[in-house]
Chains A and B, each alone.
Chain A
């Protein structure tokens, strides 16, 4: 690092003032700031915590040992089913325009959360049923899980469609 030594004064005595050359320091800081600004990730990333549950194709039968009523959500390309196991009640929420009817879905989940079955429970299972002709995107399933967490079902389980405790018969 360089330092500029002051010039001699008229009296012949050397000045004690030293001027530090900070230009290289500024250069380094400018480059570093520019690099960090360009490469920084400005998107806020969060997470939705899920537990894989239900059966998969390895199993032949849905587990029936659960005595609780389970709230099951099946996301299809053109509708969402909300069902209760054991009671076998299903509500169909058809698509509204290009998108799923998330408002009605949220209202439905709120109603279930307020019911006697789920007032003190927070578990729910979600599945997405996709085919080549009618694909369901990851965004739709994430949206369904996000709404469930928002309503109060914070223990979200993701399962295979065949593994849902309550599955509509079509």
Chain B
């Protein structure tokens, strides 16, 4: 009798467990499916090549938002990548096992947990107001650098740690300086991992809204300088949904976003696979 009820409990439990997986999968399918079904029809050449009219109308396309997004990501990466790699190199290759290093790591962890809107407040206070960059792509980019730094550092450090210690030993034993060993052997070997880190950050940057909402202004016009305001693709979805009735345009923009994210995900997985293979080429 005992065995029967244990088996029944098991069946029930397994049903619940599989149910969990099915529901999760369904959620993904519904969300992505709905957006693509509603949005794809709205994507055409005109949509991609004209600017949104802005304001309440919701007419137009997404061109200026794409350009703003590209500018934003460009400036962000220019600062994020060197600082992120520098910090990661410090943690992985130089930092001794002492309290100072623990403080640095604590700082990075804490920064990683802070919500985007707080970064937005910070960016608004420092970049928009104190440094007088005003609502601009520049303010948004600087804010984004702060937001993304922990991700860049952590992922890059993983990439560096994955490089076999034996390479470092071999290089130093040949009479190289530490920096020669790092720059000529370790960093080149870690490049696929670093590229993954960069792509990861780009993906997050594209999806970011809160901190950019309060630092970039919301101008729908084509930006002609970094000190002008703008809106990213994600922000455009928000403005369309909240200020206009153009749900079809919002869906279309969202569909573009989803396609970009899917591509980025696929690219990251591809690179991660290549990275593993390269390091496993040795034993």
On whether the two chains bind one another, the answer is no
By a beta-carbon cutoff of 8 Å, the part of chain B in contact with chain A is: none
By a beta-carbon cutoff of 8 Å, the part of chain A in contact with chain B is: none
